[in-house]
Amino acid sequence: MFRVTSLLLAALAWQSRSAPIPSGLSRRAGEEPFVLPPPGPDGPGPTFDATATRAATAVQIRSAASPNTCFDVSNFRAGDFRFNLVPVAPNPCDSTVEGQKFDLITKGAHNNVADGSRTLIVSSQQFTCVDRRGNINDRTRPGLFACGGRAAGDGETTADQQYFFNSTASLSGGIGFPIVNNAVNNGVGPGNQCLTLNADGFLSNTPCAPPLFTSEQTWIIGDGGSAAPSRVATASATTETPAASSTLSPAPTASSTSTGTPEKFVLPKPVDGPGMTYLLSNWRTTDVQVATLGPTFDATATRAATGAQIRSAASPDICFDVSDFRAGDFRFNLVPLALKKFLSDEVSCDPRGQHNNVADGSRTLIASSQQFTCVDRRGNKNDRNRPGLFACGGRAAGDGETTADQQFFFNSTASLSGGIGFPIVNNAVNNGIGPGNQCLTLSADGFVSNTPCAPPLFTPEQTWIVG
């Protein structure tokens, strides 16, 4: 039997009751012709790259899962005044629609990788690039943005718009688009994210394990006919789906001894990594300063809860669990945030402290009461797009101060036992309110994911009972 690890909310907090997320996404505008905006005083705007090397020109990009469904950016009015942030909204394929035509640029003004191993996906109509965070309605999802990543068109290169590309692949047979930014192992294997056809009619970035892609992550370039490609590898169980579900698979077993009992966590000694003693010498003098780093208990913190369990509203007998500390690195950073059946009931919480610099209690840290490390949105060793424990402050050796990757919006007047959400502060939209935000979410594979949310509305899988 496992002893569920108690967690502490190093508080600065926010919340709400469970409710469905409204889509709020618009469809294409119709037959209005697109007119390229003129250059402005702040930049050239979108321009045709005559120097570029193209693997494909003015082609449709159709889904292998639904071969009559194509990338479509015809609704350019859905973007901002520069026609940035236009959602990619797959629609029925129509070769006469200019908004369904794209170039794959493997080298050019906005793609600085000369060997053809990366591609941009550029609208042949609007000369803007598919950006992993370019959907105006949900900035965690793909849409068009000025190539190079600067709104006025004066940017150079950004990994948010680059996708790993196999120049020898059959485009008409179907390819995947693994995202370069935050890629793992150069875009090969688990821990990566790919452009994916979503059930709501738009694109999402979802976990993938190239060269294996699901049919929803496989795209036929050009006229691929109506049949799904036979050559596309089927994704194995290592490919995750981001949709949360209350049907939970057991998380992997925690570290245990030969007797089958959980291994006791011992705070690392200085020589083990966290807590390591560093000699910091001032090169101007002969002075030597000794600094001890690593996870430590913050006695100065204000706590909204202490030693508390965090249970899922969708499955109330399932709790946050980081007992498997050996799953992390040698410092016990990157411990995956698993979900397991709870066995005991301990509570604790903090609204301010040395790693939480927001004094009004509107944000919280979630710190392990056992390990003194914080839930980080990218702290899962096996998939850096998912939450796990990391040294509070964001520096591996424990000498960090504050990072938005570990802060969550928090309502200090909310009923913790009634259930709250944990909207992530980093990359938040509208101060964590409404669509375009991401929240900690119960995932079907037994771990926690970051998925789109629209606070103060949360699904049951995004609602957590504290205590």
Look at the chain and report how many structural domains it folds into: 2
Residues 14 and 154 occupy one common structural domain? no
Residues 305 and 451 occupy one common structural domain? yes
How much is the pLDDT for 390?
84
**Region 323-340 average pLDDT:** 70
* pLDDT exceeds 60 at position 7: no
Residue scoring higher pLDDT (32 or 291): 32
C-alpha 315 chain-centroid distance? 23
* pLDDT exceeds 60 at position 242: no
Residue scoring higher pLDDT (205 or 329): 205
Q: How far is it, in rounded angstroms, from Cα 409 to Cα 361? A: 9
If you count them, how many residues does the chain have? 467
Residues 14 and 137 occupy one common structural domain? no
Q: What is the pLDDT of residues 343-362, one digit of tens each?
A: 443 333 444 555 567 778 88
3-state class (DSSP) for residue 21: coil
**Nearest CA-CA partner of 48 in 153, 134, 135:** 153
How much is the pLDDT for 94?
93
Whether 378 maps to a domain, the answer reads: yes
Residue scoring higher pLDDT (207 or 1): 207
Q: What is the pLDDT of residues 262-275, one digit of tens each?
A: 556 555 554 333 33
* pLDDT exceeds 60 at position 256: no
pLDDT-derived band at 241 (thresholds 50, 70, 90) equals: very low
**Region 439-444 average pLDDT:** 88
Residues 326 and 446 occupy one common structural domain? yes
Residues 441 and 300 occupy one common structural domain? yes
* pLDDT exceeds 80 at position 410: yes
How much is the pLDDT for 4?
35
How much is the pLDDT for 79?
85
pLDDT-derived band at 194 (thresholds 50, 70, 90) equals: very high
* pLDDT exceeds 50 at position 456: yes
* pLDDT exceeds 50 at position 248: no
Q: From residue 154, give the alpha-carbon distance in Å to each of 119, 207, 336.
A: 19, 31, 40
How much is the pLDDT for 321?
76
Whether 354 maps to a domain, the answer reads: yes
Whether 34 maps to a domain, the answer reads: no
* pLDDT exceeds 80 at position 419: yes
Cis ω for the linkage preceding 211 (within 30 of 0): yes
Whether 204 maps to a domain, the answer reads: no
Tell me the Ramachandran region of residue 222: left when phi exceeds 0, alpha when psi lies from -120 to 50, beta otherwise.
left
The DSSP line for 396-455 is: TTS-----GGG-EE--TTS-GGG-B--BBSTT-SGGG-STTEEEEEE-TTSBEEEEEEBT
Q: What is the pLDDT of residues 89-146, one digit of tens each?
A: 899 999 999 999 999 999 999 999 989 999 999 999 999 999 998 888 887 889 999 9
Q: Which of 130, 164, 198 is the last residue of a domain?
A: 164
Residue scoring higher pLDDT (249 or 407): 407
* pLDDT exceeds 60 at position 383: yes
Q: What is the pLDDT of residues 301-328, one digit of tens each?
A: 777 777 788 888 888 878 877 777 666 6
Q: How far is it, in rounded angstroms, from Cα 404 to Cα 363? A: 10
Q: Which of 164, 199, 218 is the last residue of a domain?
A: 164
3-state class (DSSP) for residue 240: coil
Residues 313 and 434 occupy one common structural domain? yes
Residues 142 and 13 occupy one common structural domain? no
Q: Which of 118, 145, 164 is the last residue of a domain?
A: 164
Residues 85 and 13 occupy one common structural domain? no
**Nearest CA-CA partner of 72 in 109, 26, 107:** 26
Tell me the Ramachandran region of residue 427: left when phi exceeds 0, alpha when psi lies from -120 to 50, beta otherwise.
left
Residue scoring higher pLDDT (90 or 20): 90
* pLDDT exceeds 60 at position 282: no
How much is the pLDDT for 179?
96
Residues 13 and 158 occupy one common structural domain? no
Average pLDDT of every residue of the chain: 74
How much is the pLDDT for 314?
83
pLDDT-derived band at 147 (thresholds 50, 70, 90) equals: very high
CB 161 within 8 A of CB 177: no
**Region 58-77 average pLDDT:** 93
Q: How far is it, in rounded angstroms, from Cα 262 to Cα 452? A: 34
Whether 422 maps to a domain, the answer reads: yes
Q: How far is it, in rounded angstroms, from Cα 359 to Cα 351? A: 8
**Region 326-333 average pLDDT:** 68
Whether 231 maps to a domain, the answer reads: no
3-state class (DSSP) for residue 383: coil
Residues 457 and 414 occupy one common structural domain? yes
Whether 347 maps to a domain, the answer reads: yes
**Region 420-449 average pLDDT:** 89
Q: How far is it, in rounded angstroms, from Cα 406 to Cα 387? A: 9
Residue scoring higher pLDDT (24 or 53): 53
**Region 210-236 average pLDDT:** 63
How much is the pLDDT for 466?
87
Residues 91 and 13 occupy one common structural domain? no
Burial class (CB in 10 A: 0-12, 13-18, 19+), 105: buried
Q: How far is it, in rounded angstroms, from Cα 448 to Cα 244? A: 9
Residues 12 and 128 occupy one common structural domain? no
How much is the pLDDT for 355?
58
Percent of the chain scoring above 90 in pLDDT: 34
CB 393 within 8 A of CB 362: no
How much is the pLDDT for 435?
93
Q: What is the CATH number of the domain that holds 421?
A: 2.80.10.50
Domain range holding 14?
Answer: 7-19+264-269+295-466
Percent of the chain scoring above 70 in pLDDT: 69
Question: What are residue 230's phi and psi, to 5 degrees?
Answer: -85, -20
* pLDDT exceeds 90 at position 207: yes
* pLDDT exceeds 70 at position 21: no
Q: How far is it, in rounded angstroms, from Cα 30 to Cα 98? A: 11
Torsion, Cα of 381, 387, 390, 394 (10° steps): 120
**Region 56-70 average pLDDT:** 94
Best-predicted range by mean pLDDT among 134-138, 218-222, 256-260, 293-297? 218-222
**Region 8-36 average pLDDT:** 43
Whether 239 maps to a domain, the answer reads: no
Q: What is the CATH number of the domain that holds 133?
A: 2.80.10
